[in-house]
Amino acid sequence: MKDLPKTNLTDLEAQLQNGRYILFFTADWCPDCRFIKPAMPEIEAEFADFTFIKVDRDENIDLAAEMGIMGIPSFVAYQDGQEIGRFVNKDRKTKQEVETFINGLNKN
């Protein structure tokens, strides 16, 4: 999983112009983020048609606010520069819930 350096929404969307991406908003101090983190390599392998990008919410606090990311961990999907879905709330997320979210994107 690639780490996203500090950026803004305009520059981020320019980087996401070609292909399918999942942004994983997280923070080191977040217990719910630590809960899902061990499952992320399996999820990445299962959905290899997406490029996964880890977004440190604290480093990119302005980006998170601009995107309406109020809770972490959160997932936002892009295809060819356009947002195609989001799994954003303050709840702990299980591997199954994340897989269900991504599977729903693949029906688009």
| Active site (catalytic) residues | 30, 33
Taking the C-alpha atoms of residue 75 and residue 88, their distance in angstroms, rounded to an integer, is: 6
